Amino acid sequence: MRQRSLIAITAALSAGALTLTACGSRDSDDKGSDSGGTTVTIGIDAPLTGDLSALGLGIKNSVDLAAKTANKQKYVDGITFKVEALDDQAQPSSGQQNATKLVADKSVLGVVGPLNSSVAESMQKVFDDAKLVEVSPANTNPALTQGTDWATSKKRVYKSYFRTATTDAIQGPFAAQYLINDAKKKKVFVIDDKKTYGAGLAGTFTEEFKKLGGTVAGTEHINPDSKDFSAIATKVKTSGADVVYYGGEYPQAGPLSKQIKAAGAKIPVVGGDGIYSADFIKLAGATAAGDLATSVGAPVEQLPSAKEFVANYKTEGYKEAYEAYGGYSYDSAWAIIEAVKKVVDDNDGKLPDDARAKVTAAMQNVSFDGVTGKVSFDEFGDATNKQLTVYAVENGAWKPVKSGTYSG
């Protein structure tokens, strides 16, 4: 009996362990060609599984496309790019593990990612210690580049961290300006998920909304693990708010929008780039019509510089859509490629020994016309391109409503 029970426990535990390890081994993607010369790896860290996988896979594919394009054009002489994609499942702890793993691989000269600001927080120091450059296509929390006291005194903490996305210091106020000036909304109910990204966004939004003369009818924080928001939906309805602002991501925003409408409040839910995903509409259902989202940059489909990206993406036949951050991911990867090119050119066509540090230094002065417009970085590592767009749900898809540059 005793032995049998031992066997059963071991069997159960090993079955569990096997299935767990199985998730880690899904993301290997080493189709990069090896036509002689030096191979440079571009690391990718993004949620490839889990709630936010739609956005993460869009990032992975877009970086892959950038590497393939550079190889095809022989953009950097003697260098072949390949990508190594790791899954962080939107968890800061996994992100840090992945960062350590990427640092250990000497061929990695730059990393694109992560998606979540909270994950970035856990990775920044690991990369900075190794002088390995990290370019995020999606992090929007201001503190990542400008320090925790960014509102009062800006201070760059990690020299190896860059991003092609604009920050919430701009995104939140941009939404507030649109709601007050264009949509004529006066009374907002603010909800956030307490995470770095969501709470930050809700904070900058609220400040600007009040400054412009709007009132806050109520504030709430939700638990991202929960799916039952009926109590909050009822509060939103009784508060008499004419719009809801949500700081957070689409897995919660979708059900939240649905339940607010179900409670009888026929008012739009507005969010940042974290809800700008086709999955938001899928989860929010038919009542999502009229919901709004801001996202960084202009719509990729409309920029002339992006036409080629969209066409190539289609040609490569990726299974998943490039989603909100595809263009930014491509540009992030291309920024790394440009930096590598500069370093190689300065060193007589070969990679120097301290390539990582040199690439990080070169990144600061990178400047090129990317998918999303002009790509270059300011003294904090933030994108100099501060364009944003408001999108609305219309006939089951996101439609651009207004593009503009935020002016404080």
Partner 1 sequence: MNELPQQLVNGLLLGSMYGLVAIGYTMVYGIVQLINFAHGEIFMTGAFGALSVYLWVLPNGTTMWIALPLMLIGAILVAVLVAIGAERFAYRPLRGAPRLAPLITAIGLSLALQQAVWAWYPEATSARTFPQIEGGPFHIGDVTIQTGDIFLLAAAPISMAVLAYFVMKTRTGRGMQATAQDPDTAKLMGVNTDRIIVIAFALGAVFAAIGGVAYGLKYGQIDYRMGFILGLKAFTAAVLGGIGNIYGAMIGGVVLGIAETLATAYIADIPGMDKFGSQSWADVWAFVLLILVLLFRPQGLLGERVADRA
Q: Which is nearer to partner 1, 3 or 153 (CB)?
A: 3
Nearest-10 Cα torsion for 11, 12, 18, 20: -170
Does residue 51 bind partner 1 (CB under 8 A)? Answer: yes
Judged by CB under 8 A, the chain residues 207 through 226 that form the site for partner 1 are: 219-223, 225-226
Q: Does 285 bind partner 1 (CB under 8 A)?
A: yes
Distances (CA, A) of 288 to 64, 112, 215, 254, 326: 33, 32, 24, 8, 24
Q: State the binding string over 253-272 for partner 1 (x if CB under 8 A, else -).
A: -xx--x---xxx--------
Judged by beta carbon, residue 238 or residue 347, the one nearer partner 1 is 238
Rg (CA), the chain: 22
In this structure, is the dihedral angle defined by the CA atoms of residues 236, 240, 241 and 243, taken in order, positive or negative?
positive
Among 13, 24, 314, 347, binds partner 1 (CB under 8 A): 13
String of contacts with partner 1 for each residue 170-199, x by CB under 8 A: -----------------------xx-----
Residue 151's SS3 state is: coil
Classify 267 as helix, strand or coil. Answer: coil
Nearest approach, Cβ of 403 to partner 1 (angstroms)? 29
Contact between residue 247 and residue 198 where contact means Cβ atoms under 8 Å apart: yes
Candidate list 31, 155, 211, 227; residue touching partner 1; CB under 8 A: 227
- Of 31, 266, 282, 314, the one binding partner 1 (CB under 8 A) is 282
Q: Does 319 bind partner 1 (CB under 8 A)?
A: no
Contact flag: residue 12 with partner 1 (CB under 8 A): yes
Q: Are 202 and 191 in contact (CB under 8 A)?
A: yes
Location of structure tokens 């709601």: 179
311 makes contact with partner 1 (CB under 8 A): no
Query: Is-contact 139 46, C-beta < 8 A?
Result: no
Per DSSP, the residues of 26-76 read T---------SSEEEEEEEEE--SSTTHHHHHHHHHHHHHHHHHHHHHT-S
Q: Is 91 in the site for partner 1 (CB under 8 A)?
A: no
Q: Pick the binder of partner 1 from 29, 37, 38, 49 (CB under 8 A).
A: 49
What is the C-alpha separation between 47 and 325, in angstroms, rounded?
13
Q: Considering only 45-53, 201-209, 292-300, 338-346, which stretch makes contact with partner 1 by CB under 8 A?
A: 45-53
Residue numbers of the site for partner 1 (CB under 8 A)? 1-2, 4-5, 7-9, 12-13, 15-16, 19-20, 22-23, 49-54, 193-194, 219-223, 225-232, 234-235, 237-238, 251, 254-255, 258, 262-264, 279, 282-283, 285
